[in-house]
């Protein structure tokens, strides 16, 4: 299996975000908590990547999603595409 790199992560984030923006997600219907939506999609993205690449998995205690490449992932809205974290890959959903 291929090791995850920053370049691959950015490419896969674009592919994943485009795909996720195109279909309904019934598990999220009625959810108004942005943090819950972000956590759900970040976990789904991590599972998507685990099927394709090898990487060191981060955790809440480490505060970074991909410590092996020093990158954190944040889910943002197309209406509010910002993050205050450096080295962040944003999953921008419509």
Q: How far apart are CA 23 and CA 43, in angstroms?
A: 17
CA distances 79 to 40, 72, 75, 76, 92, Å, are: 19, 20, 12, 8, 9
Mean pLDDT of the chain: 82
Whole-structure pTM value? 0.78
pLDDT tens track for 36-73: 888 888 899 999 999 999 999 887 667 788 999 988 88
CA distances 20 to 4, 37, 40, 48, Å, are: 21, 12, 12, 12
Residue 4 has pLDDT above 90, yes or no: yes
As a whole number, mean pLDDT of residues 75-86 equals 60
- Per-domain residue ranges of the chain: 2-93
């Amino acid at each position: 299996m291929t090791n995850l790199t920053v370049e691959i992560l950015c490419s896969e984030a674009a592919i994943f975000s485009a795909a996720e923006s195109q279909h309904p997600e019934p598990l999220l219907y009625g959810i108004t908590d942005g943090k819950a939506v972000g956590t759900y999609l970040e976990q789904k993205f991590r599972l998507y990547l685990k099927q394709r690449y090898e990487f060191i998995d981060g955790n809440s205690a480490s505060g970074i999603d991909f410590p092996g490449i020093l990158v954190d992932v944040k889910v943002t809205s197309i209406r509010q595409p910002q993050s205050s974290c450096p080295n962040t890959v944003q999953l921008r959903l419509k």
